[in-house]
A and B are shown apart, each in its own frame.
Chain A
């Protein structure tokens, strides 16, 4: 049976890292969170983002859901929630999510402590105390079925659909076979391939929900009397040989493997543990999409790239996989797995085995290229005006 050495949690699956998350409620609280993380320890990680203090209601709900999910991610041993004090996102709701999962949690308000300097001082003290609480936790052997594995692609080119994505898909198939959860997202990149996914849905409810989500993303372009060309595939994708969104999507969906699609959840909604292959409805923007899956509970992410994306995440290790031999060579220091041998005849399954072993090693503490270089991008998906109108019932 496949195992990894993780941090058992009081509730829910084991973590693969043991961090204090310093979570700001808004862009205004973000520099405080970063300063606190900088002043404490390497395992204290901030999640700065760009959301304002008073977003429209649907956006507020999404920010609260995302930050609550981040606060209870298995890699978070304890959390500090930082606010300016005027945010409409509820600090207590975010803190309660962590507390309900059995994590130590504190809240801090710039207004209440009397300014930003006092907040950094007070926050640093709170973060040090939280860190002291969790620093003696030890890794124990855990079953691979506790893993929620998020997969993402970015900077795609023609090699993504030929090599890196099917190889990561083969690793997803192995994890699902061993009882875990694999998830992929980026709904705009289902367009043109949704019929393939729809055939693999376990029931009519999942199938209808998937097709409805894809239609909604496609309608976004149609509502605006524009088309996806120029944005999907991106100019970089086009330079890499991808001509249409259909071609990009057909290559993109192979990163989830070949098992049945068991469900589709909302952006940042909680993912099932031991759930097989489950999709998440997210935008195509990589950073927001990765954060959605981490908020959903993913402890580890695999990120395929043809042209050479280098991004990471503050709380979940991100394993970089490329199928482009030039990228594997030029950006070797930013890549974890070279899948380009597939183009010269290396079997997809053998690279899939390599990625699965890397997943278990990284889950057991081995640091990824992005972690070694402290690449920790974080962004919450910002709902667009047409999405807000639809969620209000205007469209």
Chain B
């Protein structure tokens, strides 16, 4: 597998990634060792879903595979679940074009 498994819990695909992928169904409170500290999960994370490793502000790039996969649309704390409720695509956004034309 590409990437590094952190604490038997999260897969860090590339060094610059600011999220890890849960490789098991993880309980709240699970610790993920990262960068000389431990990121503690603030909520349960299902298998395959992502966890923030660092604090993210709205507009910050979310990075996985060493590439931008979208941007935070809410403040996200380390240990929080990163998914459609707080992270959005930057691509194929006809809705944003429409908003700009209306404004």
Which residues of A line the B interface, CB within 8 A? Answer: 157-159, 161-163, 166, 191-193, 196, 218, 221-229, 232, 238, 240-241, 243-247, 250-251, 306, 324, 326, 342-343, 345-346, 348
Contact bitstring B23-42, A, C-beta under 8 A = 1, else 0: 10000000000000000000
Contact B92 A245 (CB under 8 A): yes
Contact A244 B69 (CB under 8 A): yes
Contacts A158-B48, A218-B91, A238-B83: A342 and B69 contacting too (C-beta < 8 A)? no
**In the complex, A342→B65 CA distance in Å?**
16
Which residues of B line the A interface, CB within 8 A? Answer: 1-3, 5, 11, 13, 21-23, 46-50, 62, 64-65, 67-70, 82-84, 87-98
B83 to chain A, nearest CB (A): 5
Contact B89 A162 (CB under 8 A): no
B39 to chain A, nearest CB (A): 18
Contact A250 B96 (CB under 8 A): no
B88: chain A residues within 8 A (beta carbon): 229, 244
18 more A-B residue pairs beyond the given contacts A250-B64, A348-B2, with a C-beta to C-beta distance below 8 A: A158-B48, A161-B65, A162-B11, A163-B1, A192-B68, A192-B89, A192-B90, A193-B67, A226-B94, A228-B92, A238-B84, A241-B46, A241-B83, A244-B91, A246-B70, A247-B69, A250-B69, A345-B5
**Which residue of B13, B50, B92 has the most chain A CB atoms within 10 A of its CB atom?**
B92
Contact A158 B49 (CB under 8 A): yes
**In the complex, A159→B47 CA distance in Å?**
9
Contacts A221-B94, A227-B93, A348-B2: A244 and B70 contacting too (C-beta < 8 A)? yes
Name the residue of chain B whose CB is nearest to the CB of A191.
Answer: B91
Contact A224 B67 (CB under 8 A): no
Contact of A157 among B1, B48, B62 (CB under 8 A): B48
Contact A159 B48 (CB under 8 A): yes
* Interchain residue pairs with CB less than 8 A apart (8): A192-B68, A227-B95, A228-B92, A241-B49, A243-B89, A244-B87, A245-B92, A348-B1
B6 to chain A, nearest CB (A): 14
Contacts A244-B87, A343-B23, A345-B1: A227 and B49 contacting too (C-beta < 8 A)? no
**In the complex, A162→B93 CA distance in Å?**
26
Name the residue of chain A whose CB is nearest to the CB of B70.
Answer: A244
B67 to chain A, nearest CB (A): 5
Contacts A193-B67, A243-B70: A232 and B48 contacting too (C-beta < 8 A)? no
B2: chain A residues within 8 A (beta carbon): 162, 166, 348
B3: chain A residues within 8 A (beta carbon): 162
B52 to chain A, nearest CB (A): 12
B84: chain A residues within 8 A (beta carbon): 229, 238, 243
Contacts A224-B94, A246-B67, A247-B64: A229 and B49 contacting too (C-beta < 8 A)? no
Contact B1 A243 (CB under 8 A): no
A161: chain B residues within 8 A (beta carbon): 65
A226: chain B residues within 8 A (beta carbon): 94-95
**In the complex, A223→B94 CA distance in Å?**
7
A135 to chain B, nearest CB (A): 46
